[in-house]
Structure 1
């Protein structure tokens, strides 16, 4: 197959590598433009850009596709069979969607129509879903609303984080797109309705201790590694990496004992892995050995 690949983050790299290894002709790779990153704010290529360069594939990084006549003409000239899209980050207008002979296939990290949108992995953990998966869908002009070819499921374990699900689902997506391109599949329209997973921001990281402990723990798992979950201790930011639910009660946000147990709106959380701004990740017990946190201290 002659393909264009559109994707940007690390989640998309296994699919790109799988298509290349399978012998598909990748006529172009589209991804987000290099951006400043790190303390030095050096211009950095996204993960797909780096992988495409390693594979010797041509890369294009337009700022937008909507109304972009130059890119539409270029894509038309490639005489494409399919486009494959994985977390690209730009909207594809109908003028672009219509160019490949058989349209565009999207690798989406949820069991559509549940969790359309930008953050489906995090949303599934936040909601307490017991399973998620990958859906291969034919793209249309809507937001993850196109007909589905097929889906595969994977359980969400009690210790799964967005990081562990991300890695598992990205490998699944690479395997599944090869299957999708290997034969003809019926396109099944999605049911009406659906749920949406909005884009996350750094503001989502702040813990509200008035919420139940179970909900806060899901938030910690969902927001690992980004945007993280944090609270304030003595005016300084404290990032919570992992915590256990404890069946005790108290005023929300207050330290209840010398094991770093924090009262929530319902039950409590014992902080087992934490990190101060600029510091290393450590066990909660190790943190307490080096920092005085008296019982009754209030976080938030």
Structure 2
């Protein structure tokens, strides 16, 4: 039996899953994604990665501003799909939408639930110093990532992982889970396992203030904080210049053995004291500039020993 599927997703992470589902031979009746946004210096309107791939594959695309619109839900119901595959769509689906497909809506989530429910599980896992994460496909419920688990894949977090490298490994592992999940759904052999009631944590969206570096924290924690936010949105500090405060992102750093007043440069090569230990800044990006190695950054921006970073 070939399943009739609706796919809902937006970024690159979701596009990889769309490609895998399309290659598995199931019928994708419709793709839903976020509306085009104006981006870049020219503010030109750009379609999402999922939208672009769907057009290449010849799949009809809809970009509703809200899935709570009764007309949108009616149109979704009229597709008469067996199941909806949801990956980083960016909209909360109301109960009417969750109930429309025969087998409901299945969601790919980038953590081992119930740890890191919510919007930023990849970043939060690294920031917290986790050594293991994973991807899971769950049966969607009205609650935030509360549904039972259908399939899991454990993925280790390496000591050198950034949000970008972990994102790519989870994206690949998650995409490869869809053919197995859909085959099991066809056979009627999917087993839904309720999430544990303990161990719930929330991966709240990363705000600018959360991303700001707090030099009073231990060096090991700050190194994780920086890796977990690299390259986006980027952990940052404030540097005082002749033209006023300048925001500088730190994209890579390592914890080192050194002591001093938190936030103070201990040498001329960007070793910065923390609440416990120090971090050596390896890759930085000054506001309005490209990313560069520390030695290149210092050629244009002087941060001598004794400088206090904000």
- The bucket for the TM-score relative to the shorter chain is over 0.9
- CA deviations on 1:175-221 (whole Å, 9 max, x unpaired) are 10111011121111111141111112233321111111111111111
Choose which of 186, 210, 221 in structure 1 pairs with 2:191. Answer: 186
- CA deviations on 1:135-162 (whole Å, 9 max, x unpaired) are 1111111111111112110110011011
1:284 matches 2:289: no
Q: What does residue range 47-86 of structure 1 map to in structure 2 within 5 Å?
A: 47-66=49-68, 68-86=69-87
Give the equivalent residue in structure 1 for 2:271: 261
Shift in Å at residue 292 of structure 1?
A: 2.9
Q: What does residue range 100-119 of structure 1 map to in structure 2 within 5 Å?
A: 100-119=101-120
Root-mean-square deviation (CA), in Å? 1.2
CA distance in 2, matches of 1:161, 1:189: 30
- CA deviations on 1:253-278 (whole Å, 9 max, x unpaired) are 11101221100111001111112122
Give the equivalent residue in structure 1 for 2:228: 222
TM-score normalised to structure 2 length: 0.93
SS at match of 2:280: strand
Q: Which runs of 5+ in 2 are unaligned?
A: none
Give the equivalent residue in structure 1 for 2:20: 18
Give the equivalent residue in structure 1 for 2:160: 159
Q: What does residue range 121-200 of structure 1 map to in structure 2 within 5 Å?
A: 121-183=122-184, 184-193=189-198, 194-200=200-206
Q: Contact conserved, 1:204 with 1:227, CA < 8 A, in 2? A: no
Shift in Å at residue 244 of structure 1?
A: 1.5
Give the equivalent residue in structure 2 for 1:239: 249
Shift in Å at residue 30 of structure 1?
A: 0.5
Shift in Å at residue 43 of structure 1?
A: 1.4
Give the equivalent residue in structure 1 for 2:207: 201
Q: Contact conserved, 2:116 with 2:124, CA < 8 A, in 1? A: yes
Give the equivalent residue in structure 2 for 1:33: 35
Shift in Å at residue 291 of structure 1?
A: 3.6
SS at match of 2:56: helix
Give the equivalent residue in structure 2 for 1:6: 8
CA distance in 1, matches of 2:299, 2:35: 45
CA distance in 2, matches of 1:118, 1:2: 28
SS at match of 2:171: helix
SS at match of 1:220: helix
SS at match of 2:290: coil
SS at match of 1:167: helix
Q: Which runs of 5+ in 1 are unaligned?
A: none
Going from structure 1 to structure 2, the CA distance change for 1:292 and 1:98 (only over 3 Å counts) comes to closer
SS at match of 1:182: helix
Choose which of 285, 288, 309 in structure 2 pairs with 1:299. Answer: 309
Q: Contact conserved, 1:213 with 1:264, CA < 8 A, in 2? A: yes
Shift in Å at residue 290 of structure 1?
A: 4.1
CA distance in 2, matches of 1:244, 1:270: 5
Q: Contact conserved, 2:128 with 2:225, CA < 8 A, in 1? A: no
Q: Contact conserved, 1:260 with 1:285, CA < 8 A, in 2? A: no
TM-score normalised to structure 1 length: 0.96
CA distance in 1, matches of 2:222, 2:43: 33
